[in-house]
Amino acid sequence: MTVLKGLYPPIRAYASGWLNTGDGHQIYWERSGNPQGKPAVFIHGGPGGGCSPLHRQLFDPAHYNVTLFDQRGCGRSRPHASLDNNTTWHLIDDMEKLREMAGAEQWLVFGGSWGSTLGLAYAQTHPERVSELVLRGIFTLRQQELDWYYQDGASRFFPDKWQRVLSILSEEERQDVIGAYRRRLTGNDPVVQLEAARLWSLWEGETVTLMPAVNAASFGEDDFALAFARIENHYFSHGGFLEQDDQLLENVTRIRHIPGVIVHGRYDMACQVQNAWDLAARWPEAELHIIEGAGHSFDEPGILDRLIRATDQFAGKA
């Protein structure tokens, strides 16, 4: 029986700071691993989720020089939960500035969930800067994907949890859940904002793993929930600021020369496995790994094993 690979041991960042974007944001960044190692960047999910020390452990610290950053408005970036000047294209510009700061001509781009969305958008904008792509829990931000998770799809598998999401909405508002939550999350009443933020965030926290997650309750903590819900809803309300619904699939031709690994859980309820299948159909050169007995989260055993194998492979270890 094959032994599943797990996270590398905990490691501290050897450098950190804030990038002043010049338009009102300060982006928290950090680097860990070997300063002379292979450059890589980790893109967190959400949008609005922020980075965790666990994310450093997806890379062999002897072989990688890894940049992690909290995207605009979340984590340790400032101002907290801000939607101003916060679009996919702002984040891509931030990544380019961070790459230049790191002194990397190219770097491996690793992203899961929304991180796969931003990873694809970044690679398609700057293909010459990407050495490899490792993408997990594919999310291409098509309307059908938003409808699945926030209107009529995943709710059929979690009717009890979905009922909490609907509990603050009128019958009319339930026809457009994302829009109804946007009005609350961007309104002037902080009590209403926070109530909506908790419900929005907990829906995701309680549905992203195949088995109940021990940390699901953390999605309802005030600071995290407010940034996560406001920013995520902001992006989804605007279609990720993409020019067309299937843009990320249509533009795969720009990145087919880049070595890639696609990892997706068979029972991913947040992002259906069809998303990964559709991406792989456009990008046959990439490795596609559909993980049995797994949902959406990066730390589910089968998914984590395949992600570690991917970073080891691109480090020349396998």
pLDDT tens for residues 227-260? Answer: 999 999 999 999 999 999 999 999 999 999 999 9
Q: Where do we find the tokens 């589910």?
A: 300
How do the domains of the chain map onto residue ranges?
Answer: 15-142+241-315, 143-239
Give φ, ψ of 74 to 5 degrees. Answer: -130, 170
Q: Is 264 in the active site? A: no
**Tens of pLDDT, residues 28-75:** 999 999 999 999 999 999 999 999 999 999 999 999 999 999 999 999
**DSSP-based three-state secondary structure for 211:** coil
Give me the helices (H) in 186-300, please: 190-205, 222-237, 247-250, 273-282
- The whole-number pLDDT of residue 247 equals 98
The catalytic residue among 25, 55, 264, 296 is 296
- The whole-number pLDDT of residue 1 equals 66
Residue 199: is it exposed, middle or buried by C-beta count within 10 angstroms (0-12/13-18/19+)? Answer: buried
The catalytic residue among 60, 70, 94, 268 is 268
- Rounded to whole angstroms, the Cα distance separating 267 from 58 reads 22
Return the amino acid letter for 28. Answer: Y
- Rounded to whole angstroms, the Cα distance separating 38 from 104 reads 9
Q: Is 268 in the active site? A: yes
* Residue 7 DSSP label: P
CA angle 177, 179, 181 (to 5 degrees): 70
- Top CATH class of 15-142+241-315 equals alpha beta
Return the amino acid letter for 275. Answer: N
The catalytic residue among 32, 82, 113, 116 is 113
Q: Where do we find the tokens 């990320």?
A: 248
**Tens of pLDDT, residues 109-158:** 999 999 999 999 999 999 999 999 999 999 999 999 999 999 999 999 99
- Rounded to whole angstroms, the Cα distance separating 157 from 178 reads 19
Rounded to two decimals, the pTM is 0.98
**Helices 190-205 and 177-185, interaxial angle, to 10°?**
140
**Tens of pLDDT, residues 169-187:** 999 999 999 999 999 999 9
- Rounded to whole angstroms, the Cα distance separating 133 from 82 reads 29
- The whole-number pLDDT of residue 127 equals 98
- The whole-number pLDDT of residue 2 equals 81
